[in-house]
Structure 1
Amino acid sequence: MHSADLIVIGAGPAGMSAARRAAGSGLSVLLLDEQPAPGGQIYRDVDRASKTRGAILGSDFTDGRILTRGLAHDNITHLRGAVVWQIEEATRVSFTRNGKGKFAEGRRILLATGALERPMPVPGWTLPGVMTAGAAQILLKQSGIACERAVLVGSGPLLYLVATQMVRAGVPPLALVETQTKADLARSLRHVGGALRGWPYLLKGLRMLWELRRAGIARHVGASDIAIEGDRSASGVTFRVGGIEHRIACDTVLLHHGVVPNTQAARSIDIPHRWDDPQNCFVPECNKWGRTAVSTVFVAGDGAGIGGAKAAALAGEIAALEMACDLSKMTKKDRDAEARPLRRGLGAECAARPFIDAAYPPYAGALAPADDTIVCRCEEVTAGDIRRTAGLGCLGPNQAKAFVRAGMGPCQGRYCGLSVTRILSDTNGIPPDETGYYRIRPPLKPVTLGEIAALAEHETAEVGK
């Protein structure tokens, strides 16, 4: 059995920075991550990226090497390929590595599980040739492959980032179909003060838009009635802008309308969550140090609310300071002194977030899909199926699950949960907080009987010592 002062789950920006800060404060750290290399989604495979690929992806990507190098510390044990599937008693973690189940014990646990792309259920989204913009970016980061004859659909800065990276890779997208409207931009102006405070992000966005314009990439803004056409695979995207119908023939469709916290692990141990209106999703309840209602468990990074890679790294360090203080490795005075510049940095990083959330809201047509649109891909459950369960008296996702099996597939509701909550909320006229979310039970990820058997053998051997 592995044991450490701190178990960090996830080796993205928050997990890596927390591990390094905690190790430097004298804590023993066990870092568990299911990927073969550190970096999370945002810095995926950054240590192997060539100069050419680094130039395509930009300095925001290659800066991740600073965090990955920080893991070379005597107090850090980094287990790659470790798939966490259960947390017990808020101190014990079960995971699988190399096909065998294992245990780990920690005095504190940090959930740095990052974000998921928000599902965008539109007609045709389950066709082959349709993927998320984030998945296309991972393909570029990990393999250097860019999607050909692709159209990017949705809203948010990631669309511009992926599009510019595709341009630099020599495989530009055919077009961007954007769902944000002039009314959204007008509403976002009340947050312009924060946007100006976060001016580096505004400048970065303007540079990306200029790069796309210089490359001749068409942008269709204010799109609605989006549908993906195709028989055996995607062959085109149809949409309406200003009352005019459009169709773009393509081979690949890349969908994106924001990211949301990955809350599965936090929910599995009954950490309370609340609905966040600006980000249109649930977030775990935690204090300014990342501490949750489960006193030994902390959450940091995008898993606690979307803020971006740099904000996640700062939040990870802040949480590490509190845990070091908890475990008598530093005084409260030293904790506060070290946290002060981190908090200033975090405030600056998050200053533009309200503006971004207001300017690029989720696509309304995907939040309230047509009845015949599939929302649960695993079980092929449609939006109409979910609405019919509301008519039968279902007030929340767990009741609906019993009727139509939504959320019972391999993804365990990761990609349909928010859609089901929103549809039930709108249909019943009950706020999302009252509608609730799926009850998450272990295993968090699929686990084989052989892996569980190996875990039981290991526990028996430990008892027999």
Structure 2
Amino acid sequence: MNARTLTNAEQLAARYDLVVVGAGPGGLSAAIEASSAGARVLVVDENPGPGGQIYRAITRNTPEQQPFLGKDYWKGSSITAAFVGAAVDYAPSTTVWDLEPADGTGSCDDVVVGLTIGGTARRIRARAVILATGAMERPMPVAGWTLPGVMTAGAAQIALKSIRGIPKGRIVLAGCGPLLYLLAAQLLDAGADIAALIDTTDRRQRLPALRHLPDFLRSPYVAKGLALLIKVSRRIRTKSDVSELAIVGTEKAQGVAFRAGGRQQTIAADCVLLHQGVIPNINLASAAGCAIEWNDRQRAFQPQTDRQGRTTAKGVFVAGDGAFIGGAQHAAVSGRISALAALRDLGLSIPSRIDESAGQLEAERQTYLRGRGFLDVLYRPAQQFRAPHDQATIICRCEEVSVGALREAIALGPPGPNQLKTFTRCGMGPCQGRLCASTVTEMMAAERRVSPDEIGTYRLRAPVKPLRLSELAALPQTRDAVIAVTGRVPEEPSTLQTEKGNTP
């Protein structure tokens, strides 16, 4: 049996055993595992095809046409082929904007998922949901980062994978982390003109990282990482020990000014790519009411989960980089572990068989986690880039809130980011804080001289993604809603939606 691709709301079932949100390595692996046990599975994906960010456009690309993407990218071919051959429903170009966990009282034992497909909004039910929403780039707000010609490394990689898009002119990459070097290598092989790579890695993190070096040397990342560093350093002008960074230009980016080794320098550029690591994408988990905790080593908030990915919200699991950053191979194993846990909770497989498989997968997962501590500590972004000081630098791009405005509001004493919104509207734009949440937390923590754990982060509400009124209007109305608005009891209640969005 092959995956059934859904393009409109009428093709959706009213209820699934499992809904997987995201079609990266974690989501694909979870769906394959669950469907092989006979579960009825729906995979919801914002992208037009499976693969997620790491394997984006894998079903359309070929090694002959895109050899610059590298060997690790083509590992996605096997997992996507297995997914295409699985008995699942697949809804590409579909947005999940709401998630209501089971209430645990017996009145509603299902998770309710609000989504939009083909321009029409629907609510469906699932016995369990696995969030495989992956990672997002940590924002790197520096002076001039809102100028045309400046983008994130992840955005440039999307263009490269999706349409073989390469920025025109002289490119400067700036920031820290393995992805910055991976993208540099890919762009080089694709024929891009790279003027320089400006590495903002905090040299003070080298010593703390050394205690994690033995594990890293036993990890699958050593040879690949060294080869990448050597390749990039030999072919690209690289600047390290960078303590300050700003984008130069008026109407568009024209260069990068930075301080390295105590000396001020400027490099001309037509395009600047910024990156300082990735953090879990927690927006949907947060809006669903899952408890969120602080991971100090990765300097990020993440959903609170057990080892199988169960969150504090009934029926909701999180797998892959959406739970904590572990990489693509770890995400694939994590997805399978969460799927097995969901099958066990739903009584859809033999417990002893699940325990045996889960034990083997856990051992495999630990292999991929080796060396993670070394990378997390070594590439922890420097404080001045996590909590910038330049008063004019924009932090909230949606509402155009600057560092200066935020610092003035923080001085007034709001206890956390949610209260800070009322002073500045920071985090109230269409992205609901995706591009400013981590920076706001870091700034408040630095001002108060406390841990970000004490500050917290934005608590989101549905709709998590922008939703058109026409999409909302397309939702089937509940009987209670009709009575509330019209004051009349509908004549044919059987045609209306009931029980938290489920049709009878």
TM-score by length of 2: 0.89
Q: Which amino acid aligns with 1:235?
A: Q
The answer as to 2:58 corresponding to 1:62 is no
SS at match of 1:135: helix
Q: 1:425 to 1:369 in 2, by over 3 A?
A: same
The AA in structure 2 aligned to 1:55 is P
> Structure 1 residues 139 and 363, CA, compared in 2 at 3 Å: closer, same or farther?
farther
Aligned equivalents of 2:182, 2:39: Cα separation in 1? 37
Looking at structure 2, the residues matched to 431 and 159 of structure 1 have their Cα atoms a distance apart, in angstroms, of 28
Structure 1 stretch displaced more, 324-333 or 228-237? 324-333
Backbone CA RMSD of aligned residues? 1.6
Q: How many residues align?
A: 463
- Does residue 256 (structure 1) correspond to residue 268 (structure 2)? The answer is no
Q: CA deviation at 1:398?
A: 0.9
1:166 matched residue in structure 2: 187
Residues 1:80 and 2:100 are matched in the alignment: no
Distance 1:89 1:340, change over 3 A: closer
TM-superposed deviation, 1:182: 3.4
Paired residue secondary structure (1:211): helix
State how far apart, in whole Å, the 2-side matches of 1:2 and 1:32 are. Answer: 14
Is residue 54–residue 61 contact of structure 1 (8 Å, CA) maintained in 2? no
Q: 2:303 aligns with which of 281, 284, 288?
A: 284
Supply the AA of the counterpart residue of 1:102: R
Shift of 1:214: 3.6
2:116 paired residue number: 96
For the residues of structure 2 that align with 1:188 and 1:25, how far apart are their CA atoms?
42
Paired letter, 1:62: W
- The answer to whether the aligner puts 1:116 opposite 2:128 as a matched pair is no
Give the distance between the partners of 2:453 and 2:223, measured in 1 at CA: 36
The answer to whether structure 1 residue 318 and structure 2 residue 318 are counterparts is no
Consecutive unaligned residues of structure 2, counting only runs of 5 or more, are 1-12, 103-110, 480-492, 498-502
For residues 74 and 223 of structure 1, do their structure 2 counterparts lie closer, same or farther at Cα, with a shift above 3 Å needed? closer
Report SS of the residue matched to 2:432.
Answer: coil
Secondary structure class of the residue paired with 2:209: helix
More off after superposition, 322-331 vs 8-17: 322-331
Whole-Å separation in 2 of the counterparts to 1:273 and 1:399: 18
Deviation of 1:104 (Å): 1.6
Distance 2:395 2:257 in 1: 19
Measured after TM superposition, the shift of residue 56 of structure 1 is 0.6
**CA displacement at 1:429 relative to structure 2:** 2.6
> What is the one-letter code of the residue matched to 2:126?
G
Q: 1:270 — aligned with what?
A: 289
- 1:63-94 CA distance string (max 9 Å, x none): 11212112234531001111010112440101
Structure whose CA Rg is larger: 2
What letter is aligned with 2:312? A
Shift of 1:210: 2.0
Q: Secondary structure at the match of 2:123?
A: strand
Aligned-residue sequence identity (percent) comes to 44
The alignment status of 1:39 with 2:51, answered yes or no, reads yes
2:447 corresponds to which residue? Answer: 427
In 2: Cα distance, 1:320 partner to 1:363 partner? 37
1:245-278 Cα deviation digits (max 9, x unpaired) = 1110000000000000000000011111111111
CA distance in 2, matches of 1:208, 1:53: 21
Kindly indicate whether residue 260 of structure 2 is the aligned counterpart of residue 234 of structure 1. Answer: no
Residue 386 of structure 1, CA deviation: 1.6
TM-score by length of 1: 0.96
CA distance in 1, matches of 2:456, 2:449: 13
* 1:219 matches 2:274: no
Within-5 A mapping of 1:177-188: 177-188=198-209
- In the superposition, relative to structure 1, how do residues 53 and 186 fare at CA in structure 2: closer, same or farther (>3 Å)? farther
1:367 aligns with 2:379: no
Contact kept? 2:99, 2:113, Cα under 8 Å:
yes
Contact 2:283–2:464 (CA under 8 A) maintained in structure 1: yes
- Deviating more after overlay: 80-89 vs 326-335: 326-335
Moved over 4 A (4+): 457-460, 462-465
Unaligned runs of 5+ in 1: none
State which of 437, 462, 467 in structure 2 corresponds to 1:417.
Answer: 437
Q: Which amino acid aligns with 2:239?
A: H
Q: Does 1:305 align with 2:305?
A: no
Amino acid at match of 1:39: G
Match of 2:461, SS? Answer: coil
1:4 to 16, 19, 26: 16
| Equivalent residue letter for 1:186 | L
Letter in 2 for 1:419: T
Query: Hey, what's the Cα distance between the residues in 1 that align with 2:447 and 2:148?
Result: 31
Is 1:443–2:463 an aligned residue pair? yes
In structure 2, distance between residues paired with 1:11 and 1:290:
17
Cα shift at 1:172: 4.0
Distance 1:2 1:239 in 2: 56
Amino acid of the structure 2 residue aligned with 1:420: V
1:457, distance to aligned residue in structure 2 (A): 5.7
What is the distance in 1 between the residues matched to 2:457 and 2:409? 15
SS in 2 for 1:46: coil
CA contact (8 A) 1:263 1:283 kept: yes
How far did residue 336 of structure 1 move? Answer: 1.6
Matched residue SS, 1:288: coil
Matched, 1:393 2:413: yes
Deviations 1:379-435 (A, max 9, x none): 011122222112111120111100100001111100101111111111123321221
Residue of structure 1 equivalent to 2:6: none
Question: Aligned pair in 2 of structure 1 residues 278, 118: CA closer, same or farther (>3 Å)?
Answer: same
Instruction: Give, in angstroms, the shift of residue 332 of structure 1.
Output: 2.6
Separation in 2, partners of 1:379, 1:323: 40
- Alignment partner for residue 35 of structure 2, among 5, 10, 23? 23
Secondary structure in structure 1 of the residue aligned to 2:317: strand
SS at match of 2:221: helix
The match for 1:151 among 153, 169, 172 is 172
Preserved contact between residue 101 and residue 316 of structure 2 (Cα < 8 Å):
no
Partner of 2:62: 50
Contact 1:374/1:383 (CA < 8 Å) preserved in 2?
yes
**Cα distance in 2, alignment partners of residues 462 and 78 from structure 1:** 26
User: What is aligned with 2:370?
Assistant: 351
